[in-house]
Structure 1
Amino acid sequence: MNFLRAAFESSGSPSWVMRVIRSQGLDRLHGFELELVLGGDLGDRRAQATQHVLAQGRADLIDTDWLSIARSKDTDAPLTAVFPYGKIMGALVVAAASGIDSLNDLRGRRVGVIRASDKNWLVARAACRKRHGFDPRDVVRLAEALSKTELLRRLEAGEVEVATLPWHLAPRVTASGKFRQLCDVLDLLPELGAPSIPTTFFAARPEFAETHPRLIAGFIAAYRDAVALMRADEQVWREAAAQPGDDAAVLAALRAAWLRRICDEWPDDARETKKLDDFFERLSRDSLVPEHA
């Protein structure tokens, strides 16, 4: 039996699907054994935590966004996408009493991000330039937390007034009524001309993907089976995704957001992937929307 070591943040949504693969025996059904390497979410300004795990040789597979894959090409730890995970974009969450009702209200505010190069912050900045003619980077007090756990702590402690949170944290954070969602970053993409295709992928080192095609194919088959099961059977999804304290409303919001984002196919048209390359390249250079657009 071949082993596949897959590293994910223990609090991240990909771990939900991995738990279903394991609990339903879908890995063995497709000829491999999935070994989960679940860890924390503290990265650095260059990369997320699991990228370092992969680079250190402690895992064979991770999930990361297309922008990180593109950036890795010029490093000593390049990545290659092996299969889509989903349209994974986060949310801007604000204190309920902050008076922040739109991106136009960000001037002078304390904004928390995981890292300044995070795609959610880059998209929010571009949308603000397009809608309101200014770049929030120039007018906010920005704080990099380097982990979503630390970012959430700063939001709850009042150290930041706005936080660019991962999508699956927003329903749980806003359930208390102390916070509310300013916007779903996924909703900002169409007005910026982004192609409607996955933004986050499972990725491996190029040499691993090239030398283990059957193992990668087995993982893809198991992943697709797990996603199909989680779509069809809400109880299976709940057992994988629910945390203590989640009420029915939180779980309903989480499931709706998950169903909207999850993917199990490559884009039909290869040209769409090229458009994604172009979109993120221009986004990272701040040229997607010129200043004072």
Structure 2
Amino acid sequence: MKLFVSHSALDAHHDDPDGRTVMRARFEENGSPRYVLYTIKKFGLDHDAGFHLDVELVADDIEDDLETVEAKLQHGDADLIDIDYVSTARERADGAPIVGIYPYGRTVGGLVVPADSPIEGIDDLAGHRVGVVRRLDKNWILTRAACREFHDYDPDEEAEVVEAGSKSGLTAMLERGEVDAALQFWQLIPAIVDGGAYREVLPMSDLVQRLSATDEKIPVSTFLTTESYLEAHPDAVRGFREAYRAAVDRLRRDDDLWRELGAEMMDGADDAIVTAVRDGWREMVVRDWNDETVRGMHRLFEHLHDVAGTDVLGVDRIPEGTFRLEV
């Protein structure tokens, strides 16, 4: 079973901007921010906050070495996306005029293997075929960093790494037996392990906490816009922050809304899967941030860079101005 969105579920909530500033939100069709987008549009939280969120869901492909949503933002076809902050730092250091405007969450994944696999942890990956979306995927970077730090080996050298090019392609690769393990994103794992043919060995969030050496929940992914959109429409950015917080509050408390999301956006998933996704989302999401949050993000980056280096991360620092706490 695949937890792909029904595009019609969001289409039903398309409405008229009615003179409000438009923010074009472009997100992956199988990404977890779609639950927030649905909530914002269903309850009109964008209009309540004084802006209009125009939502389009896109494939999770790679385009010119960028994820589709990254390419859309950098090519001027989007005003709002989410990606991990290491990718944000890498693209900003390369000159992309992008900026992180708000946290999303600890959007990492987990190591998934067949139920009868001998793999019990990241220290068992040597000699095995490991599927990843791409080598610059945050889950692979975390795994390499943790293996170097805690297990004294580099799986990029001692395992066979297989790039799938997309999250959906990675699941298919695992199901066809083309890899022995897959580093899949958290929101897809409940459907993969449902039925017992596969199991999750380790959530990547454990590695985030070990490497960052903090109890603070670090938002690995943030919402991004462009410098030009932020300068031209700061009120819309502030409005998005308000709408996002309202949506998070509702999603944290409203179990009936999650049942609706299961029916509308999870392609017929049963109650157990919907509940697992709901609980995982509530654990993953970050509602707000402050200076200490950003310091924690910098500490995690420094740990990753110390262990994995610029060749793995693709960047040696988080450029100045990457995160904007105030607008």
Go from structure 1 to structure 2 and tell me whether the alpha carbon gap of 1:277 and 1:79 turns closer, same or farther (over 3 Å shift): farther
- 2:46 touches 2:243 (CA, 8 Å); kept in 1? yes
State the shift of 1:277 in Å: 4.1
Q: Which amino acid aligns with 1:192?
A: L
Q: Which of 67, 79, 83 is the matching residue for 2:86?
A: 67
1:190 paired residue among 185, 199, 209: 209
AA of the residue aligned to 1:202:
F
2:278 maps to which residue? 255
Question: TM (normalized to structure 2)?
Answer: 0.83
Counterpart-to-counterpart distance in 2, 1:71 and 1:5: 23
Structure 1 residue 107, shift from structure 2 partner: 1.6
Q: Which amino acid aligns with 1:231?
A: R
Cα distance per residue 1:28-77 (max 9 Å; x no partner): 11111110121100015832110011112111010011101100123343
Deviates more, 1:81-90 or 1:186-195: 186-195
Letter in 2 for 1:208: Y
Partner Cα separation in structure 1 for residue 311 and residue 75 of structure 2: 34
Match in the other structure for 1:203: 224
Counterpart for residue 249 of structure 2: 228
Unaligned runs of 5+ residues in structure 2 are: 1-19, 313-327
Counterparts of 1:281 and 1:45, CA distance in 2? 25
Q: Distance in 1 between matches of 2:226 and 2:251?
A: 28
Q: Deviations over 1:62-102 (max 9, x none)?
A: 00111011001233433200000011111110111222122
Between the aligned partners of 2:63 and 2:119, the Cα distance in structure 1 is: 29
Contact kept in structure 1, 2:81 and 2:225, CA below 8 Å? yes
Q: Match for residue 274 of structure 1?
A: 298
Question: What amino acid is the match of 2:274?
Answer: L
SS across alignment from 2:22: strand
Residues 267, 283 of structure 1: CA spacing in aligned structure 2 closer, same or farther, 3 A cutoff?
farther
CA distance 1:53–1:144, shift in 2 (3 Å): same
Deviations 1:180-227 (A, max 9, x none): 101100011222235532111000111211221100001110111011
Match of 2:115 in 1: 96
Please give the alpha-carbon distance, in whole angstroms, between the structure 2 residues aligned to 1:284 and 1:121.
Answer: 11
> Alpha-carbon deviations, 1:237-275, whole Å to 9, x = none?
332355133222222221221111101101352533432
* Local SS of the residue matching 2:93: coil
Identity of aligned residues (%): 38
Pairing of 1:38-53 with structure 2 (within 5 A) = 38-44=57-63, 46-53=65-72
| C-alpha contact (below 8 Å) 1:47/1:68 kept by paired residues | no
Deviation per CA, 1:105-136, whole angstroms, max 9, x where unpaired?
A: 21211111011111111111222233322111
The total of aligned residue pairs comes to 288
CA spacing shift, 1:36–1:287, aligned 2, 3 Å: closer
In the TM superposition, what are the counterparts of 1:1-293 in structure 2 within 5 Å? 1-44=20-63, 46-195=65-214, 196=216, 197-241=218-262, 243-269=266-292, 270-282=294-306, 284-285=308-309
Deviation of 1:280 after TM superposition, in Å, equals: 4.4
Contact 2:144 2:308 survives alignment (8 Å): no
Q: The residue matched to 2:118 in structure 1 has which SS?
A: coil
Shift of 1:165: 0.4
Query: SS of the counterpart of 1:189?
Result: helix
CA deviation after TM superposition for structure 1 residue 178, in Å: 1.1
The 2-side partners of 1:78 and 1:145 are apart by 28
Q: Which deviates the most, 167-176 or 267-276?
A: 267-276
Query: What secondary structure, in the 3-state scheme, does the structure 2 residue paired with 1:92 have?
Result: strand
- Alpha-carbon distance in structure 2 between the residues aligned to 1:64 and 1:70: 10
Structure 1: stretches of 5+ with no match in the other structure: 289-293
Give the 4+ runs in structure 1 shifted more than 4 A: none
Q: For 2:143 and 2:173, how far apart are their aligned partners in 1?
A: 20
